[in-house]
Amino acid sequence: MSQPAITVAELCDRIRVQPPATIAGVAIAGVTTLELVGENEASFVLKPRYLKVAAKSKAAVVLVPEGMKTDDPRALPVPDVWMAVLALLEHFHPAPRSSGTVHDSAVVDASARIGANVEIGPCAVIGKDARIGDNTIVDAHAVIERNVSIGADCQILANAVVRHGTRMGDRVIVHAGAVIGDDGFKYELAGGRLRKVPQVGIVVIEDDVEIGANTTIDRAGFHETRIGARSKIDNLVHIAHNVVVGSDSIIVAQVGVAGSTKIGRGVMIGGQTGIKDNITIGDGSKIGARSGISSSVKPGSEMMGYPAMPMPDYLRSLKALKRLPAVMEEVLPLVREMKRQREESDEDGDW
């Protein structure tokens, strides 16, 4: 929060927008929501219905989408509101940057290859033959086991564990307490009893992936578990062995994906959903929160419920379910009376 203020002109310069002359000189000391915004700060509006709130706010500058009608003199129209907000956030809260120092208490194996300008925090452990790319930060107490390869500009946060052999691209963020590359859950009957099958594959994390706090991603049985580029995984998610997640997918908190399942590209999976082993979720599919997916779904599907159905069927089914007790009360007595009458008339016929 100790960053200097920035003028509207400076902001516009960064996002390559022509500043309105009327407010070009206005200084911005921070950026936040309309609810919280203070006198010298900027805020932003994404939908017209919030313009009223903006009008009553103390904001010095209000970012609005180009073309949205407003006569608020503090409005700064921009072609991409989030680009402008992100520019301000980056100014006031710059992303963590490596200090380039290795803490005295860190335990770095002599065989590890550490890139330029790497930060290694207190008590962090870097194992044999591990490689850490340039500018990467390994925070306090993170454990990077032997033969792990981590790219450049990554952040491995406090207490995360990256088990042996894991390969990670650039700009990956692993949040606190996440465990990457621990054993898959695999037992087979052999010699009359259940035995652990050694998990000898690895985990591969592609570029720009983010992995949430206390999430677990298991190593493959033989080959690899893979998280595609730019995919984002929330907290407390479980990804089992051999799973492949395509690029640009979003997996919300507490989801579980069972072994060998393939999640496509651009898939969105709502929180607490469970996905069966050995199935495929087609590219671009959307899975509603708390669903249970027990068979493959085609690309572009929107599924919900357990067992999951296409969204319109799910909504019809829900509606029907809600009416069910009342409908039963209505239908059953009538049907039963008819049945009784019919049986009586049958008996009549027997006479």
Phi, psi angles (nearest 5°) of residue 28: -115, 125
Contact between residue 127 and residue 164 where contact means Cβ atoms under 8 Å apart: yes
Strands 302-304 and 309-310: antiparallel
Using DSSP's 3-state secondary structure scheme, residue 325 falls into helix
Strands 193-196 and 216-218: unpaired
* Gyration radius (Cα) of the chain, Å: 28
77-116 binders of its own copies (CB under 8 A): 80, 82-83, 85-86, 89-90, 92-93, 95, 103, 105, 107
Q: In the complex, what is the shortest distance from the CB of residue 288 to its own copies, in angstroms, rounded to a whole number?
A: 10
Alpha-carbon distance of 136 to 128, in angstroms, equals 18
Options 91, 141, 175, 241, the catalytic residue: 241
- Residue 164 among the catalytic residues: no
Structure tokens at 322: 């809600």
Q: Which position among 185, 207, 310, 311 is part of the footprint of its own copies (CB under 8 A)? A: 185
Q: In the complex, what is the shortest distance from the CB of residue 234 to its own copies, in angstroms, rounded to a whole number?
A: 4
Structure tokens at 283: 């590219």
- Which residue, 116 or 318, has its beta carbon nearer to its own copies? 318
Q: In the complex, what is the shortest distance from the CB of residue 71 to its own copies, in angstroms, rounded to a whole number?
A: 26
Alpha-carbon distance of 351 to 338, in angstroms, equals 20
Q: In the complex, what is the shortest distance from the CB of residue 125 to its own copies, in angstroms, rounded to a whole number?
A: 5
Q: Is 195 in the site for its own copies (CB under 8 A)?
A: yes
Distance set, CA 331 to CA 176, 322, 325, 327, 345 (Å): 56, 15, 10, 6, 21
Contact between residue 267 and residue 293 where contact means Cβ atoms under 8 Å apart: no
Q: Is 214 in the site for its own copies (CB under 8 A)?
A: yes
- Which residue, 52 or 319, has its beta carbon nearer to its own copies? 319
Q: In the complex, what is the shortest distance from the CB of residue 22 to its own copies, in angstroms, rounded to a whole number?
A: 25
- Which residue, 21 or 334, has its beta carbon nearer to its own copies? 334
1-30 binders of its own copies (CB under 8 A): none
Angle CA(232)–CA(15)–CA(250) in degrees, nearest 5?
Answer: 10
Q: Is 40 in the site for its own copies (CB under 8 A)?
A: no
Site size with its own copies, rule: CB under 8 A: 106
Task: Single out the residue of 202, 201, 159, 150 nearest to residue 178, CA to CA.
Answer: 159
Q: Which stretch binds its own copies (CB under 8 A): 5-13, 53-61, 68-76, 304-312?
A: 304-312
- Which residue, 87 or 118, has its beta carbon nearer to its own copies? 87
Q: Which stretch binds its own copies (CB under 8 A): 19-27, 111-119, 129-137, 219-227?
A: 219-227
Using DSSP's 3-state secondary structure scheme, residue 293 falls into strand
Number of Cβ atoms within 10 Å of the Cβ of 136: 27
328-347 binders of its own copies (CB under 8 A): 328, 330-332, 334-335, 338-339, 342
236-295 binders of its own copies (CB under 8 A): 236, 238, 240, 248, 250, 252-254, 256, 258, 271-272, 274, 276, 289-290, 292, 294
Contact between residue 289 and residue 270 where contact means Cβ atoms under 8 Å apart: yes
Q: Is 36 in the site for its own copies (CB under 8 A)?
A: yes
Q: In the complex, what is the shortest distance from the CB of residue 302 to its own copies, in angstroms, rounded to a whole number?
A: 16
Structure tokens at 260: 């060998």
Q: Is 63 in the site for its own copies (CB under 8 A)?
A: no
118-177 binders of its own copies (CB under 8 A): 121-123, 125, 139-141, 143, 145, 157-159, 161, 163, 173, 175-177
- Which residue, 22 or 128, has its beta carbon nearer to its own copies? 128
Alpha-carbon distance of 66 to 76, in angstroms, equals 8
Query: Within its chain, how far is the Cα of 285 from the centroid?
Result: 15
Residues with catalytic roles? 241
